[in-house]
Amino acid sequence: MNAPIPQPRSTPQFYLQSMLAFAVSSAGSGVGIVFLPVDLWMRAFLGMSLLFVITSTFTLAKCVRDRQEDTAMAEQAQYYQQLPIWQGDQQVQPRS
């Protein structure tokens, strides 16, 4: 039995699209906050809010990724627990 080969979760095009969407939305929100016709303290509050949303989004994405990796590792461990253990009294078959 061979171990399953992991497949990539997303394509490079999807990764690029995600990066571009993040950059455009962050830059657009930042420019909108800078040129908003309100007092400086209001713009500072909106800028801090945008920064908090971005950092919490990264944290949430990391937590989701970690949970998926934990699930994959648990499945992998279950797979290896089901493999027979060589007892030493059998001949080892050469792989072809």
Alpha helix locations (H) across 1-96? 12-34, 40-81
Per the structure block, which two tokens stand in for 29? Answer: 């929100």
What is the per-residue pLDDT across 31-79, written as a single tens digit (0 to 9) for each?
999 999 999 999 999 999 999 999 999 999 999 989 988 888 888 888 7
Report the candidate in 22, 19, 27 with the shortest Cα–Cα distance to residue 47: 27
Q: What is the pTM of this model?
A: 0.63
- Total number of residues shown for the chain: 96
What span, in angstroms and rounded, lies between the C-alpha atoms of 90 and 92? Answer: 6
